[in-house]
Amino acid sequence: MDLDDILGPRPDDPLPALLREDLDRLSVAELEARVRALESEIERTRRKIEGAVNHRASADQLFKS
C-alpha cells in the first residue's frame, strides 16, 4: 500500500495546479518557455529515477554477496 493511498495527495504538490492552469492566456513565447522548463524538469526527474534505480541495484548487489 502506498502512503498516498493512506494520506491522500500532498497539499504542497504543484502538479495538480500546473495541470489545471489556463494556457489560453499565455503567448506563444510564454508557451515555448514553459515547454523548455517542463522538459528540463522531466530530464531532472529522469536523472533522479536513474540514480534511485542504480542505488537500489547497488544495495541489492551488496546484500546478495
pLDDT at residue 49 in the model:
94
pLDDT at residue 18 in the model:
92
pLDDT at residue 58 in the model:
77
Which residue, chain included where needed, has cell 502512503? 3
CB of 48 within 8 A of CB of 56? no
Distance of CA 64 to the CA centre of its chain: 31
- pLDDT per residue as tens digits for the range 12-62: 888 889 999 999 999 999 999 999 999 999 999 999 999 999 887 777 777
pLDDT at residue 61 in the model:
75
For residue 1, is pLDDT > 60? no
Q: What angle do CA 33, 37, 38 make, to 5 degrees?
A: 115
In order of 18, 28, 36, 46, the CA distances from 23 in angstroms are 10, 10, 15, 25
Q: Distance between CA atoms of 56 and 61, rounded to whole angstroms?
A: 9
Is the pTM value of this prediction over 0.95?
no
